[in-house]
Amino acid sequence: MSLELDWSTVDYELTRSVHRFLSEAFAATALPDFVGPISLDHFSFGDEQPDINILDITDIDKQFLLPDDDHESDEDQLPPLPPRSTSRSRSHSPAPFNTATLESDSYTHAASQAGAGYPPPPPPLSSAPSPSFQLLVRISYSGNLSLALSTSLRINYPSPAFMSLPLQLSLTDLAFQGVLVVAFEGGKNRIHISLVEAPPPAEAEAPTTSTSLASMMAATSASRPTTTTTTMTAAARAATKKERFLRSAHVESRVGNADKHVLRNVGKVEKFVLDVARTTLENELVFPNFQTILF
C-alpha cells in the first residue's frame, strides 16, 4: 500500500531531533588521529519526498522487546485472581457499637436508594493502553536532503596536532533504499526503529508475512560488513555491503581557510566521509541494531 506524504509539514522540531541524533552519532564515531572532532553545522530534509509503501502490519517481533517486557507478557498470561471478598473480620474485643452492623445498614440503605430510582454511582474510569503493532515500510529515496559538516585535518608530525587544517563538507543528493521496521509499544509509549534489506522485486509485490520478515532479518544480519577483510576482493565485498542502504551521495569538500589557499573536492577525504556515514548507519539502525524513541 503506497503512502502519500505532505513533505512540507516537516516541522522544526523533527529537524532539530534528527540534527541532534546525527550530532551524537558523529561524536561517538571512532575517528583516525588525523581527523579532528566532527560538527554538524546544517541539516535539511529538502523538498523531495521519499517513495513509501507499507508491506505489512504485524505483532511486534520479540527481538525488539526488552527482558522485562517478556516477563510482563508472561504475567499477563496468568489466570485472573478471584474477586476480593468484601466481608470484614469481626473483632474479638467487646465494643459499645457494632461497626459491622452500621456498615451493613449503610450499605442496605444505599442499595435501597439505588433501587428507588437513584442512579447508580459511575464506574471508575480506566484508561486502556494504546495498541501495540509493527509496521514494515519499504522506503526508496533520491532527493535533495542535505547536511553540512565541519572538522579539521591534523598533521601529527613532528608532534601530535602539530598542524591543523579546517575542513568543510557538504553531503547532498542522497539515494537510499531499504525496509524500515517500526514497532509501536503502546503500553510502554515506545517506538523501536530498525532497517532490514529490501526483498527482491518479485517478493516485494507479494504480501509480506512475518516469516519473510524473519528471513529479511536473517539475511540482513548475515550480510553485515565485517572488518576482517584480508584481500582486496573481501574488502570490495564489504564496501558493496555497506552500500546496500545508502546507495550513493554527492560529497563536496573544502580544505583550508577561506581567506587563504583552499583545496576543493579532495577525493580521499570525500570517500572517507561517505564511509563514515555508511558505517554510522550500519552501527545505529541496521538490524540487529535498532533505536528506541519514547513518546
Query: What's the rounded Cα separation, in Å, for the pair 295 and 292?
Result: 10
Give the total number of structural domains in the chain: 1
DSSP string, 18-36: HHHHHHHHHHHS---TTB-
In a domain, 261, yes or no: yes
Query: What's the rounded Cα separation, in Å, for the pair 112 and 118?
Result: 9
pLDDT tens-place string over residues 193-251: 999 987 765 555 554 444 466 777 777 666 665 544 444 454 444 456 778 899 888 98
- Residue 65 clears pLDDT 60, i.e. is over it: yes
In a domain, 274, yes or no: yes
In a domain, 124, yes or no: no
Its domain, for residue 177, covers 2-66+129-294
pLDDT category at 134 given cuts 50, 70, 90 is: very high
In a domain, 112, yes or no: no
Strands (E), 129-260: 133-143, 146-155, 163-185, 190-196, 246-255
User: How confident is the model over 264-276, as a mean pLDDT?
Assistant: 80
In a domain, 121, yes or no: no
In a domain, 18, yes or no: yes
DSSP class of residue 184 equals E
In a domain, 109, yes or no: no
Which single residue is written with the C-alpha cell 502519500?
A: 4
Burial pattern 60-73, b for ≥16 Cβ within 10 A else e, equals: bbeebbeeebeeee
In a domain, 7, yes or no: yes
Q: Cβ distance 254 to 262 under 8 Å?
A: yes
pTM over 0.75: no
